[in-house]
Amino acid sequence: MKMKQLSLDDFTAKTASDSPSPGGGSIAALTGSLAASLASMVAALTVNKSGYEEHKAEMAEMLEKCEQLRSLLLDDIDRDCVSFDGYIEALALPKDTDDQKAARKAAMQQALKHAAEVPLSIAQTSLKVMPLAKAAVMRGNKNAITDGVIAAMMCRTAVLAALCNVKINLGMIKDQNYTDKMWSVVNCLEQSAVDGEKEVLSLAKF
């Protein structure tokens, strides 16, 4: 059964267990999905609301975008689990001969890259929620403004949490050109998430 099909009780119990997955990357994906859900709720409470007719088209489009992101990030919960499993499998490869040791080392490095790229993708997808949260706060139903704010806060948390997993994997990757490029992307995403949340919070009036 996929992680997203578990009940909240079962999912949190599995997270709390001694199983290595779902771990931080999966929780980041879940957090991003919840951020998208909250932004969607604001749009749903606005799209047909009297007094917000001029924003109807924007809110209808926002509903579609939020649903796409919510669904993608839920799928990322399992994708992150699988990426970690790949590294565990590489660790278990035989290392009795020099050839086996070399093959195991190469497999581990490749698995680490994949394990870094999946949470990076989660961070990138989660960050797409931020402009939707901003729109929710600026033009959404004022009675739900706190939900738009919390969407932004959770978006930031999802991005930073996912990037933690990227960083720890980058620390074990030997390909300097690869890690330099990845760090550049990581730093940009991190700053965008922090700045985005600050902007949304500054716009909130309640």
Residue ranges per domain, the chain?
Answer: 23-203
C-alpha span between 181 and 35 (Å, rounded): 28
Average pLDDT over residues 79-85: 88
Q: What is the pTM of this model?
A: 0.95
Give Cβ neighbours of residue 4 (< 8 Å, ≥ 6 apart). Answer: 74, 75, 77, 78
The two structure tokens encoding residue 140: 């959404």
Identify the CA nearest to 88 among candidates 20, 179, 27: 20
Q: Each residue of 147-190: pLDDT tens digit?
A: 999 999 999 999 999 999 999 999 999 999 999 999 999 999 99
Question: Percent of the chain at pLDDT above 70?
Answer: 100
Identify the CA nearest to 62 among candidates 33, 26, 36: 36
145-170 and 98-127 helices, crossing angle to 10°? 160
Tokens 């996912």 identify what position?
162
C-alpha span between 135 and 151 (Å, rounded): 11
Report the CATH fold assignment for 23-203: Four Helix Bundle (Hemerythrin (Met), subunit A) (1.20.120)
Give Cβ neighbours of residue 2 (< 8 Å, ≥ 6 apart). Answer: 77, 78
pLDDT of residue 148: 98
Q: Each residue of 114-145: pLDDT tens digit?
A: 999 999 999 999 999 999 999 999 999 999 99
CB 74 within 8 A of CB 33: yes
